[in-house]
Amino acid sequence: PLIKYIDHSGGEYEADVDVGKTVMDGAMDNMIDGILAECGGCCSCATCHVYVDEKFIPVTGTADGMEKEMLTAVNEPKDNSRLSCQIFVTEEMDGMTVRIPESQY
Ligand code: FES
């Protein structure tokens, strides 16, 4: 599935991310800047924050549990905030856009 990443200055990057990988993996594997992922994907650093295209929220689901708690600590949380290491890519996410915040702190 193709995922589009848009950074805070409007730069757009497309990555073909394998099903089962995370949206964070897709950014790392394709050297897309702005997602730091300091903890490597174990939901404990909150430096992989993204804003999910509202249209795709029914597909990605919403944050709960640990992720929801971590999201209270990010810079500029919004209703569509997610930790990208907790979004596991499925075929239905083809064409999804995620926006990368200006800062992960
Ligand atoms: Fe650390 Fe997502 S990579 S919380």
71 belongs to a structural domain: yes
Domain residues for 58? 2-99
37 belongs to a structural domain: yes
Instruction: Tell me how many domains the chain contains.
Output: 1
Give the pair of three-digit tokens for residue 97: 């856009």
Q: What is the pLDDT of residues 32-89, one digit of tens each?
A: 999 999 999 999 999 999 999 999 999 999 999 999 999 999 999 999 999 999 999 9
Distance CA 91, CA 59 (A): 10
- Give the chain's end-to-end CA distance (angstroms, integer): 29
104 belongs to a structural domain: no
Ligand 1 proximity of 39 Cβ (cutoff 6 Å): yes
CA of 100 to the centre of ligand 1 (A): 14
Average pLDDT, integer, range 95-101 = 98
Average pLDDT, integer, range 16-29 = 98
CA of 81 to the centre of ligand 1 (A): 13
Is the pTM higher than 0.95? The answer reads: yes
User: Would you say 98 and 6 are in contact if contact means Cβ atoms under 8 Å apart?
Assistant: yes
Ligand 1 proximity of 24 Cβ (cutoff 6 Å): yes
What pLDDT score does 50 carry? 98
105 belongs to a structural domain: no
- The CATH code of the domain that includes 60 is 3.10.20.30
User: Which ligand 1 atom sits closest to the C-alpha of 35?
Assistant: 3
